[in-house]
Amino acid sequence: MKYCSMLRNRMLADPSFLFKVGTEIVIDSYCATFAEVQKRGKDFWAEFELYAADLLVGIAIDIALVSMLAPNARIWKAISITRIIWRGILLSLVFFATGADKTMLISDAGKVYAFGKDLRWF
């Protein structure tokens, strides 16, 4: 719990969070298995790796979906001064790219944030 804040915060807000995740995984896995057996028939064991890959992706999506919908108990920490300085530097780099004769668009801000302010092509 100490190293997985996502799990800790959701379990503090909702003690039945792991039950909900487990229930979603069991139901989805059962439905996926039933559908694959019906669809593939006798070729199910020959194409088992496709089923296993589909099942693993389904489990990951189930965990993500339940986690996004679960309430979150935020434990506030004091923001360090270095984080504030870095946020200020990033914002100034994004908005410094505009010159006196150029207008900054939202798409330009994203490009500058992602690639830096010395882009020649926009």
Mean pLDDT of 1-15: 82
Q: What is the rounded average pLDDT of the residues 100-111?
A: 63
Whole-number pLDDT of residue 78: 59
* CB neighbourhood size of 23 (10 A): 13
In this prediction, residue 3 carries a pLDDT of 77
Residue type, 25: I
Q: How far apart are the C-alpha atoms of 108 and 122, rounded to whole Å? A: 8
pLDDT at 30: 95
Task: Dump pLDDT digits (tens) for 52-100.
Answer: 999 999 999 999 999 988 888 776 665 565 665 666 665 565 555 555 5
Q: Which residue has the higher pLDDT, 114 or 20?
A: 20
Smallest Cα–Cα separation from 55: which of 113, 7, 6, 63? 63
pLDDT digits (tens, 9 = 90+) for 23-43: 999 999 999 999 999 998 888
